[in-house]
Every structure is written in structure tokens, then in C-alpha cells.
Amino acid sequence: MSLFHIVSLIISLVALFGYLNYRFVKLPEPVGITAVGLVASIAVAVVGALDPQLTAWARIAVQNIDFTAVVFQGLLGLLLFAGSLHVNWDDIRGEIWIIAVLATVGVLLSTVIVGAGLYFVAPWLGFPLPMIQCLMFGALISPTDPIAVLGLLKSLGVSKELETKIAGESLFNDGTGVVVFITLLGLSSGEMPVSASSVTLLLLTEVAGGVFVGLAIGTLGVLMLKAVDSYAVEILITLAMATGGYALADALHTSAPIAVVLMGLIVGNQGKRLAMSEETRHHLFSFWKLVDELLNLVLFGLIGIEFIALSLSASALFPGLVAILLVLLARWISVGLPVAAMRPFQHFAPHTITILTWGGLRGGISIALALSLPSVQGREIILAATYGVVIFSILVQALTLRPLIRRLRP
């Protein structure tokens, strides 16, 4: 299929899922669209038992959609820019230390816990995996998904302090997770030497480079916005930052997610105050809010559709259940230890650990990373585990987080 046909298919299916959810299912839109997409995928598989040709055709059609490319070379830069654009830097600055610890130490700790847990549990369940593959799964599943988290935060009603911690962590920790995943993938394939110095240098280059690119393009973008008084041109400038800036950071082998988050923060704070008229602020922020909402729905719809293309056997679904327990345990430990260590020096709202644990949603970024794995040993197991955690996160954690917060309130 041509690119036009693929884009048309995606938009048409997601629009249909949205219609069906709005009329009949009535779940929150991102969750409902994912659920309808999953039901449609399962229905295709059931019908395929009677007509294998139909299932084969549907699978080929969906496999033409390069989910990893759609996420990392299409949606992610726009969604991260849109999400960070609406975050108040003064709020982030007040929580910067806990956000930094959770987005770095927390991700690394969770990666090790999930990886080690899967390595020791997997042989008992009949699917032994090499440690490096287990750690890659830990790296791709440990970061919370900013797209899922930021969409949910709008309707939760948690305290401003806790909302800032959750939003700030989700915006930055996926950059850490992607860097760790790429590092482990390079070690696994033999493309980079196995030494502490080489791994540390790569991590520092990716993170520091992403910060430098983000600050440079963000500052340049604000200067350009300040010199123009046309909301259409200014919106185009921000679009160029979210797409071209992301592409540049990626081409320089630095962390593109970290870079584009910093661009959004700079434009949404410094640019908003110093470089925009009232008319521009209204049009620009309304535009990015609409982009955020529409692309969110497209991504969640794709998560449901992509299930058709996975071709998972029944035996491969069990690892998903095991992975859910491992990931929740790792999340609780990787959040609980930093919060406990910093509690004497920083205020934390009641039940912070519980809410951060259950509110650590996973989404399309984890699936895109899992699908990017080459044909390594245990790839099907890792895909099944990843999909199990993501679906549980979207359909269970996201739907029960608000009742949990209400129950925990004094």
C-alpha cells in the first residue's frame, strides 16, 4: 500500500473506533478507542478461524503500518512538544530534584529489577531468556508513557504538587529509557564494546546532547517568535521545532525526546511571556491542544489495531500476566526508595508512592521499542509481555486511578 492509503486506513479506523466508543461503549476516549480496537482485532482473529484468508489480508494490511516509525518518526515529537508546552516551569522547578531522580535513578532501578526478575522467573515458566534480553525488556517497559499520563492527568483532580511530579517524571523518563534500551541493544548486537566507560560515555552523550540541542533550538525558536507577529507563521515555527528539531537531535545521535521536551518548556514559558501577542497565544495554544488530542486518539487506536499483526501464540500470552506483576513491583520499589530517601528534605503529599505506582502508565512508546527488536531469542515473549503490560495499564490502571485517588483522600 502507498503512504496515502496507509494514512487513510489509520485515520478511518480510528475515527470508526471513536464513533463506536462515543455511541455505545462510552469510556474515556483514549481508553475506549483502544478497547474497541482490541475487540475488532480479536473479532478478526475469531473470524479467521472460519476464513483464514480474511485474517491473512487484515494482518498484511496492518503489517504495512510501521508502528515503530509512526511513533518515533511521526507522533512522538509532536506529542511531547504539545505536552511540555502546557507545563509550567515554575511548578517543575519546585519539584526538580524528585523528578530528576525518578526519571534517571528510578528508570535504571526499575530496569534492573524487571530484567533480573524476568531472568530468574522465566525458566520456571518454560521460556528461559538471556539476561541482556531481559534487561532490554526492563528498559523498554520501565519509563512511564508521557502521552498516556498527560492525557489522564487532565481529568484526575490530584494536588498540584503531585500532578507536577507525575507530569515531570513522565516527560523526561522516556528519554532515559530509550537511551538505556539503545545501549543494551548495541551491546546485544555487538555494535558497541562492552565496557563501563563506553556505556557511560554513550549515556552522557545522548542525554547531554539532547539537553544542548533542546536548549539551543528552544532559544532560537523564541527569538524567531519574538521577531514575528503573525500567529500562522508562529505556529509554523513551533511545528518546525517539534519536527525538525526532533529530527536534528535524532540525526546527531542525541536524545530527541529530551530535546523536544525542553523546546516545548521554553516556548510554553519564556516564549509565552516574552514573544507572543495575546492573539498568538490563543491560536497557538489552541492549535497544539487540538494536535495533542487528535494524535493521542490516533496512537491509542493504533495500539488496538496493532494486536492483529502480532501473531502471538496462546502460550506466549502467559508472560504478559507475569510481566504485569513484575512491572508493578519494580515501579513500587523504584518510586518508593527515592521518595523515602528524599522525604526528610522535601514534602510529599499523602499516598504519593501508591499514586505514583498505580499512575505509572505505559503506552505506545513501549510497544514501539518492543517491535523495533530484531529477530533475537525470545522476541515473541518480550512482545507478549510488553503488550500485556500496556493493555493492563490502559484498560485497568487508567480506569481505576481516579476511584483510587478518591478512596485515598482523607
348-366 per-residue burial string, b: 16 or more CB within 10 A, e: under 16 = beebbbebbbbbbbbbbbb
CA angle, corner 102, sides to 99 and 105, nearest 5?
A: 130
Residue 326 phi/psi, 5-degree rounding, is -65, -45
CA 54/CA 325 separation, integer angstroms: 35
CA 256/CA 206 separation, integer angstroms: 9
Q: Are 279 and 9 in contact (CB under 8 A)?
A: no
Is the pTM higher than 0.75? yes
CA atoms within 13 Å, Cβ hemisphere of 95: 22
Cβ atoms < 10 Å from Cβ of 378:
21
Q: Are 390 and 363 in contact (CB under 8 A)?
A: yes
pLDDT values of the chain reduced to their tens digit, one per residue, 410 residues? 677 887 888 889 899 999 999 999 988 888 889 899 888 887 877 776 676 776 677 777 777 788 888 888 888 899 999 989 988 888 888 888 899 999 999 999 999 999 999 999 988 878 888 999 999 999 999 998 877 777 666 666 667 788 888 888 888 888 888 888 888 888 776 665 656 666 677 778 888 899 999 999 999 999 999 999 999 999 999 999 999 999 999 999 898 999 999 999 999 999 999 999 999 999 999 999 999 888 888 888 888 887 776 655 555 567 888 899 999 999 999 999 999 999 888 888 888 899 999 988 898 889 989 888 887 777 888 888 998 999 999 899 988 988 888 888 75
Nearest to 114 by CA among 177, 208, 198, 63: 177
